[in-house]
């Protein structure tokens, strides 16, 4: 049979597909037309108004900025706008009613400009709720215009491309602390006029910035992508950064005075610059901070009483330091690569407190002369540093990428940062050093297999970070921070004294501290905790932690605590948060609680918890734990108290002469109590609030069983349910059962 086209189902199906396709094309075309029309109608630049007193579109500038589109103008009427956190991410015009009439009080940060072609004018910007280092930040933005903006902290430009620096229009109608902002871009061969409130150079060469007095701002002199300029004879005080260079090379910075700033002179990604004859005193951080900058010359500068360091070389290489004079300061080196340590030229013409800086790199087998003001070792082996007096600087001895160094019989006093600092250095010996009143006595970073013995660290502490297999023997750390261990494993701490600190031993960090051994340490009279440790497979043995707020605080699993003495602590003798730990033969008496436990599958055996102010042993929400052969006598409340605990085993324990109960279980199920002795307790030998526990062959004077029932009854012809508590007091040869009835609701 022959079918015509209309009768062919396949052809009919194809016609349906074509029609559907044409329908979809029509919808798309219609949608596009609507979009174009809407854009044409609503896409015109708008004017948005802001008035803090009402009567405009918005009362907050930040709100108007959030809803604005590219090309919009935001007009801000006269007034004071407080708590403003303004982040501009569109190309808008933000226009105030003149800096004398329109004031922005910042919220928590500066005004952030993160878009191109932003125009801001006519504002006064005042301080924020938090300290800020700039009032207005141009971050990765281009072609922005700033006019008539009066500021306290000034402008900061950030961008990792030259176009983020040299495309803006910033004229001298912008004011910082009553003086103009001088912004120069793509300029050459000029001397800036004096009297600047802030100086910014972007892609400039052979410019001279001289005789400026810039204070109380953010970035006093800010230079980006500029070269062969001279910055000299300026005074910059009480700024965030006095002089700051970014991606700028071959500049000369000389004869400047930078005091009481956050940082004095800073270089970031800037090479082959000369810093000479500058005075950088009393800055909060570093006098000179060199970051990711190479082959600079730092010479004949004076550094005094900077809180961190005189000179900091951070991720930098091949810098030359000579004839720098430091008082109560020092040189600090930091870097994750060897080249940041052993490529500098630092000769003995540099001095700390009138004594030479000894910087050794890539050498072996010498003894450092004993007259050092500071000792720096980089990639050295078999060096002796002994009998030094390294005092009142910022850092006494710094060792990086070195091994088999012996540091002995040195005195490091009153350094504002570190007494001794080891960075990526292994197999060294620190012995018989006196380290007093530094911020950190001894610091280890990624340093392994070192031996630290018989050092006295008073009024500072020993800090261990990411460092393994070290041994600490007979060190004394008192009156400050004790020993602080972060993310470090397989270390041994033997016979150390960590008393009268905030915390004796503190194990903390982003990662766990594992396989550490603490033996025979004394951690008494600390404000908080004797030993605070978290991690797994740690061993604490024969330690004494008494008269602290907490004796031992343990969080983790598979740890072993044996033969520790934790007496007379204000709270717990031992606090345990974790699983699969073993506590055996510990003594915890005269505390608030002897042992406090939150965790599962722990084993507590042969512990003595007597005469504590509350319970000998207290558990909350713990399951599958075993308590055997423990003695908990004469406690002010219970010998052992379990609440919300299931499937625990109490076997062969002694709970006598406690002021309340020997054993008390509340809301606990499926626990086994076997062969325990509970005599002469003031209330009950065993007190249970639920009855589905196993109680086998215990030696008990009195057992009190309490379990609730609900009994339906009728009162005044109304059916109600009455909760009933059945109490069974079990004595030898007799049982007394009583009922306590309480109505659920009142009846008239």
CA distance 162 to 89: 20
pLDDT value for 691: 59
Residues near 161 by beta carbon (within 8 Å), at least 6 away in sequence: none
pLDDT value for 14: 43
CA distance 164 to 167: 7
Beta-strand relationship, 677-678 and 661-666: unpaired
CB-based contact 354:380 (threshold 8 Å): no
Number of neighbours of residue 53 by Cβ within 10 angstroms: 10
Element (H or E) spanning 64, and its range?
Answer: helix 61-67
Structure tokens at 183: 């912004």
Residues near 404 by beta carbon (within 8 Å), at least 6 away in sequence: 381, 382, 427, 428
CB-based contact 211:194 (threshold 8 Å): yes
Q: Which residues of the chain have pLDDT under 70?
A: 1-43, 128-131, 510, 690-691, 702-748
**Residue 741, Cβ density class (10 Å: 0-12 exposed, 13-18 middle, ≥19 buried):** exposed
Element (H or E) spanning 62, and its range?
Answer: helix 61-67
CA distance 719 to 433: 83
CA angle 133, 135, 140 (to 5 degrees): 90
pLDDT value for 43: 63
Per-residue model confidence as pLDDT tens digits over 367-405 = 999 999 999 999 999 999 999 999 999 999 999 999 999
pLDDT value for 588: 98
CB-based contact 210:234 (threshold 8 Å): yes
Q: What DSSP string describes 77-134?
A: -SEEEEEE--EE-S--EEE-S-TTTEEEEESSSPEEE-SSS-EEEEEEEE--SS--S-
Element (H or E) spanning 259, and its range?
Answer: strand 257-259
Query: Bridge partners of 188?
Result: 205
Structure tokens at 668: 């606990």
CB-based contact 396:412 (threshold 8 Å): yes
CA distance 79 to 496: 64
Indicate the pTM of the whole model. 0.86
Structure tokens at 712: 């339906």
What is the largest distance, in Å, between two alpha-carbon atoms of the chain?
Answer: 116
pLDDT value for 656: 97
Q: Which residues of 330-343 are buried (b: 16+ CB within 10 A; e: fewer)?
A: bbbbbbeebbbbbb
Report the SS3 class of residue 369. coil
Reference 237, options 274, 196, 267, 281; nearest CA is 281
Count of helix runs (H) and strand runs (E) in the chain: 3, 75
CA angle 329, 316, 242 (to 5 degrees): 55
Length of the chain: 748
């Amino acid at each position: 049979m022959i079918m015509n086209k209309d009768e062919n189902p396949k052809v009919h199906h194809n016609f349906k597909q074509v029609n559907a396709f044409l329908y979809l094309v029509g919808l798309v075309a219609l949608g596009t037309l609507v979009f174009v029309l809407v854009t044409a109608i609503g896409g015109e630049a708008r004017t948005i108004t802001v008035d803090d007193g009402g009567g405009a579109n918005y009362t907050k500038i930040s709100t108007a900025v959030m809803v604005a589109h590219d090309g919009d103008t935001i007009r801000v009427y006269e007034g004071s706008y407080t708590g403003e956190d303004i982040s501009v991410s569109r190309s808008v015009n933000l226009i105030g009613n003149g800096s004398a009439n329109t004031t922005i009080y910042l919220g928590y940060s500066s005004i952030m400009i993160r878009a191109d072609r932003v125009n801001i004018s006519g504002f006064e910007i005042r301080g924020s709720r938090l300290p800020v280092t700039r009032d207005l930040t141009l971050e990765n933005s281009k072609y922005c215009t700033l006019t008539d903006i009066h500021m306290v902290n000034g402008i900061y430009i950030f961008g990792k491309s030259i176009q983020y620096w040299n495309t803006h229009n910033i004229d001298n109608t912008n004011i910082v602390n009553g003086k103009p902002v001088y912004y120069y871009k793509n300029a050459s061969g000029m001397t800036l006029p004096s009297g600047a409130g802030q100086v910014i150079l972007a892609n400039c060469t052979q410019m001279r910035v001289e005789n400026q007095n810039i204070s109380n701002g953010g970035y006093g002199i800010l230079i980006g992508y500029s070269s062969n300029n001279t910055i000299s004879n300026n005074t910059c005080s009480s700024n965030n950064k006095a002089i700051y260079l970014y991606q700028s090379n071959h500049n000369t910075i000389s004869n400047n005075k930078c005091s009481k700033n956050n940082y004095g002179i800073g270089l970031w990604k800037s090479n082959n610059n000369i810093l000479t004859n500058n005075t950088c005193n009393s800055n909060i951080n570093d006098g000179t901070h060199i970051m990711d900058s190479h082959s600079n010359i730092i010479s004949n500068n004076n550094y005094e009483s900077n809180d961190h360091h005189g000179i900091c070389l951070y991720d930098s290489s091949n810098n030359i330091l000579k004839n720098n004079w430091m008082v109560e300061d020092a040189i600090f080196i930091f870097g994750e690569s060897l080249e940041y340590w052993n490529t500098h030229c630092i000769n003995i013409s540099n001095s700390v407190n009138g004594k030479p800086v000894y910087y050794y790199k890539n050498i072996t087998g010498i003894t450092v002369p004993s007259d050092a003001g500071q000792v720096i070792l980089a990639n050295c082996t078999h060096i002796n540093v002994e009998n030094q007096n390294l005092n009142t600087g910022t850092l006494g001895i710094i060792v990086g990428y070195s091994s088999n160094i012996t540091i002995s019989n040195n005195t490091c006093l009153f350094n504002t940062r570190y007494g001794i600092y080891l960075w990526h250095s292994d197999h060294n010996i620190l012995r018989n050093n006196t380290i007093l009143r530094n911020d950190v006595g001894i610091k280890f970073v990624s340093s392994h297999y070192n031996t630290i013995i018989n050092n006295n660290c008073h009024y500072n502490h020993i800090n261990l970070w990411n460092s393994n297999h070290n041994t600490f023997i007979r060190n004394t750390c008192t009156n400050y921070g004790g020993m602080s261990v972060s993310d470090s494993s397989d270390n041994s701490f033997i016979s150390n004294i960590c008393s009268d600190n905030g915390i004796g031993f503190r194990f903390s960090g982003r990662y766990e501290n594992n396989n550490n051994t603490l033996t025979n340490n004394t951690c008494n009279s600390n404000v908080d905790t004797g030993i605070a440790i978290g991690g797994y497979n740690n061993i604490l043995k024969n330690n004494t932690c008494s008269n602290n707020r907490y004796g031992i605080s343990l969080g983790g699993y598979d740890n072993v605590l044996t033969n520790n003495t934790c007496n007379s602590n204000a709270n717990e003798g031992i606090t345990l948060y974790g699983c699969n730990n073993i506590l055996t033969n510990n003594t915890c008496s005269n505390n608030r609680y002897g042992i406090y436990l939150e965790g599962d599958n722990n084993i507590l055996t042969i512990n003595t918890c007597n005469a504590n102010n509350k319970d000998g042993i207290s558990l909350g929400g713990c399951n599958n734990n075993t308590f055997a052969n423990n003695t908990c006598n004469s406690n002010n409340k219970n010998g052992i108290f379990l609440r919300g605990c299931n499937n625990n085993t109490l076997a062969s324990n002694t709970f006598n002469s406690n002021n309340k109960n020997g054993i008390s279980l509340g809301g606990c199920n499926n626990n086994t109590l076997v062969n325990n002795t509970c005599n002469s307790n003031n209330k009950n030998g065993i007190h249970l609030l639920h009855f589905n526990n196993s109680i086998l062959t215990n030696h008990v004077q009195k057992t009190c069983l309490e379990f609730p029932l609900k009994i339906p009854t009728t009162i005044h012809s109304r059916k109600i349910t009455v909760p009933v508590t059945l109490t069974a007091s079990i004595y030898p040869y007799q049982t007394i059962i009583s009922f306590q009835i309480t109505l659920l609701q009142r009846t008239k």
